[in-house]
Amino acid sequence: MPQYDFVLVAQVELFKHLHGLSLRWHLSRKTGEVLRVMDRGTESINNLLNYILFSILPTIIDILVAVGYFISAFNGWFGLIVFITMSLYIGKQPKKNQKFR
């Protein structure tokens, strides 16, 4: 739920900011345009947090656990070899969303 709380706080702060803007600003903008920009912004925050939480963080934890295991079970050289191998493997992976942009 912390992710939802963060998005909710961002939405409330944005709402406060919009209410603090001058009447001239609101009259010069279309309501749909402002709502679309707000929705895209909050959706971007949600996507970024999902990507970090479910893609990047587990990968980093996996690498650290594997390196730690190899260091404790064998020695530092094996841990270094595992770290370098995993780093090269991650670096060579094709970017999933590049072909769609």
56/90 Cα distance (integer angstroms): 11
State the residue range of the domain holding 65: 2-100
Give the orientation angle of helix 2-20 with respect to helix 31-51, to 10 degrees. Answer: 150
Q: Collect the ranges in the chain with pLDDT lower than 70.
A: 1-4, 95-101
Strands, E assignment, the chain: none
| 71's tokens | 């260091």
Q: What is the pTM of this model?
A: 0.57
As a whole number of angstroms, the distance between CA 82 and CA 64 comes to 10
pLDDT of residue 3: 61
Let me know: does 46 contact 5? Beta carbons within 8 Å.
no
Looking at the chain, how many residues does it have?
101
Instruction: Quote the pLDDT of residue 95.
Output: 67
Q: What is the domain count for the chain?
A: 1
